[in-house]
Amino acid sequence: MASDAYPNAQLEREIVLSRVVAAPRDVVFVAWSDSRRMFQWFAPAGMRCDVHAHGLAEPGAVWRFDMIGTGDERYGNRMRFLEVVPNQRLVFEHGADQDDDPERFLTTITFDQQDDGKTVVTLRQLHPTTAQRQRTIGFGAVEIGYQTLDGLVRHLERSP
């Protein structure tokens, strides 16, 4: 289950994004859970990823990567997987590529298969404080999140 570092999930600390994807959930899940696939699309508009090591999402796995901006500025990121339920849910901590990042947040992604073969992807970010959630929204996290989900859709359209 999720880490004890995030007790009592509260709406005022959470950001929720959702997107319907025209692909079966097992295909969408692999696009998220295999770093070789994920880092082909996982970046907002105008950015790309430089991955330090590839792997599969599994409890305890750590993915380290840099987001690279248009001016080649690098932003170190780290994801540590806490829970993986194949084709259903991924739970990981996401933050800067540093030990004990105080601003890391908990991400839960669910994959819900629809009767028409499409998948509803819901991404929930639980931040440690309401103030951090507000700073993250002010930074553009909602727009960046949807740009990243757009990248997922484009990736799945190109890669069956």
Domains and CATH numbers, the chain: 12-158 (3.30.530.20)
122 in Cβ contact with 99 (< 8 Å): no
Segment 7-17, tens digit of pLDDT: 555 789 999 99
Q: Which of 21-25, 50-54, 103-107 has the lowest mean pLDDT?
A: 50-54
Segment 55-70, tens digit of pLDDT: 999 999 999 999 999 9
Kindly tell me if the per-residue pLDDT of 155 is higher than 70: yes
Segment 16-43, tens digit of pLDDT: 999 999 999 999 999 999 999 999 999 9
- Percent of the chain at pLDDT exceeding 90: 89
Confidence of residue 1 (pLDDT cuts 50, 70, 90): very low
> What DSSP assignment string belongs to the chain?
---TTS-S--GGGEEEEEEEESS-HHHHHHHHHBHHHHTTT-S-TT-EEEES---B--TT-EEEEEEE-TT--EEEEEEEEEEEETTTEEEEEEEESSTT-TT-EEEEEEEEE-TTS-EEEEEEEE-SSHHHHHHHHHHTHHHHHHHHHHHHHHHHHH--
Distance of CA 157 to the CA centre of its chain: 19
